[in-house]
């Protein structure tokens, strides 16, 4: 008999913007969140009290020594993912790591190997896959409803780094990695389109742009999506991408084009995609997540309003509410972890997990490598999966 989620102990590392979303989703599923680890014991104690958690661990060692913690969620800044996940795997615990899995593909390759050797459940938080209509669309494409996939286009735009006074740890390559807009949000689109479109990215032709050449770094730390302005700042030269335009070739023969930007005024968190197939088309917009547009040549187009009674099995499995009761960003975390913790409850990863694994996180890092090389060398670069 499968274990109950309420018998499984979990800990969360980081309690910023997204750590809090992880925590809430885990609670909705009935998992037992035993505590959190923060940048300092003091900040941890404060956040544990605010979030109603039983404890804040004082160190990674203390967290890993808690035998009732079977799985750990890593939601710290990017550069910490590799060292923290490595420690968690060495302790034999299951891991859900935020994207990007690491800041280099050498590191992500090592994490794939270590997770496999440890035999634990390993997931990368590509939550956007788990909007029910994205699951539905992936199954539609897989069953041939759109015909042969020809064109995969879209964008991922935000505006929270538009001004030179906007600051976040992501702007520092030592914390965020060498690709910023592409690594931070483009990665979601690239992962999503490999899944919905049904084939991996084979090669890329990329152009990266740093429009804001100097930014004003506040003297103290800043929370993600914060709108407060600091008075004491230090000018910093920027080396990472505010925006990118990328041409894509997929293994199945499809062509694609993606625009990514964190400097698009008015676009708060706008991921859009369209897939044009030989028989029909589909399109989706993260700011209207309960609507899937289906484009037809011989009959009127359709809008499928997310509805467990009308979606295929994959879409229905990711849904929590009846049609017309809008589901959104936070709900994708619940749907993702429902799949992840089914494997934790079963004792280990399924042969073909339905959630994104470290292998998927690593594959996206290889695509990022090709994007960085292509932008540097000004030519098409094949994704190196050798």
Residues that bind ligand NAD (CB under 6 A): 13-19, 37-39, 75-78, 80, 98-99, 125, 127, 169, 184, 223-224
| Shortest distance in whole angstroms from residue 326 CB to ligand NAD | 18
Q: Which residue is nearest to ligand NAD (CB)?
A: 16
- CB nearer to ligand NAD: give 14 or 277: 14
- Which residue number, 15 or 217, has a Cβ lying nearer to ligand NAD? 15
* Whether 139 contacts 312, CB under 8 Å: yes
Q: Which lies closer to ligand NAD via its Cβ, residue 169 or residue 380?
A: 169
* Residue 278 near residue 284 (C-beta atoms within 8 A): no
Q: Least Å distance between CB 294 and ligand NAD?
A: 26
- DSSP state string for 298-329: SS--EEEE--TTTS-HHHHHH--S-TTS---H
* Beta carbon nearer to ligand NAD, 80 or 321: 80
Which residues have CB under 8 Å from 135's CB, separation 6+? 129, 314, 315, 317, 318, 335
Using the minimum distance from each CB to ligand NAD, give the nearer residue, 17 or 211.
Answer: 17
Nearest to 89, CA basis, from 101, 103, 79, 104: 101
Compute the distance between CA of residue 245 and CA of residue 117 in angstroms, rounded to an integer. 38
Is residue 56 classed as helix, strand or coil in its secondary structure?
Answer: strand
> Got the DSSP string for 220-261?
S---TT-----SSEEEEE--S-SEEEEEEEETTS-EEEEEEE
Residue 167 CB, nearest approach to ligand NAD (Å): 11
Q: Is 233 exposed, middle or buried (0-12, 13-18, 19+ CB in 10 A)?
A: middle
Q: Which is nearer to ligand NAD, 307 or 357 (CB)?
A: 357
CB of 187 to ligand NAD, least distance (A): 8
Closest distance of CB 61 from ligand NAD, Å: 12
Shortest spacing between CB 98 and ligand NAD, in angstroms: 4
């Amino acid at each position: 008999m499968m274990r109950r989620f309420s018998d499984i102990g979990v800990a969360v590392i980081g309690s910023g913007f997204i750590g809090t979303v992880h925590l809430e989703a885990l609670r909705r599923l009935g998992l037992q969140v035993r505590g959190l680890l923060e940048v300092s014991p003091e900040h941890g104690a404060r956040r544990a009290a605010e979030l109603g958690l039983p404890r804040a661990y004082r160190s990674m060692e203390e967290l890993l020594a808690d035998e009732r913690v079977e799985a750990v969620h890593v939601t710290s800044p990017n550069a910490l993912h590799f060292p923290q996940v490595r420690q968690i795997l060495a302790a034999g615990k299951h891991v859900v790591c935020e994207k990007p899995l690491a800041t280099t593909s050498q590191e992500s390759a090592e994490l794939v190997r270590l997770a496999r050797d440890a035999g634990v459940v390993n997931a990368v938080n590509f939550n956007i896959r788990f909007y029910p209509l994205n699951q539905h669309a992936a199954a539609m494409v897989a069953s041939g409803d759109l015909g042969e996939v020809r064109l995969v286009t879209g964008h991922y735009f935000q505006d929270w780094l538009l001004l030179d006074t906007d600051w976040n740890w992501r702007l520092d390559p030592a914390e965020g990695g060498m690709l910023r807009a592409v690594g931070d949000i483009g990665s979601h689109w690239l992962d999503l389109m490999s899944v919905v479109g049904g084939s991996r990215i084979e090669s890329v032709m990329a152009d990266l742009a740093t429009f804001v050449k100097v930014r004003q770094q506040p003297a103290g730390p800043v929370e993600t999506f914060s709108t407060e302005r600091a008075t004491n700042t230090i000018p910093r030269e920027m080396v990472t991408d505010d925006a990118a335009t990328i041409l894509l070739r997929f293994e199945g023969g499809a062509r694609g084009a993606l625009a990514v930007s964190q400097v698009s005024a008015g676009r708060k968190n706008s991921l859009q995609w369209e897939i044009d197939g030989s028989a029909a088309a589909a399109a989706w917009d993260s700011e209207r997540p309960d609507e899937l547009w289906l484009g037809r040549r011989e009959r009127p187009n359709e809008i499928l309003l997310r509805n467990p009674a009308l979606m295929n099995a994959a879409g229905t499995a990711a849904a929590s509410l009846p049609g017309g009761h809008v589901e959104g960003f936070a709900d994708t975390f619940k749907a993702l972890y429902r799949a992840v913790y089914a494997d934790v409850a079963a004792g280990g990863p399924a042969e073909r997990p339905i959630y994104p694994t470290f292998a998927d996180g690593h594959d996206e890092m290889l695509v990022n490598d090709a994007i960085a090389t292509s932008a540097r060398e000004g030519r098409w670069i094949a994704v190196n999966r050798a």
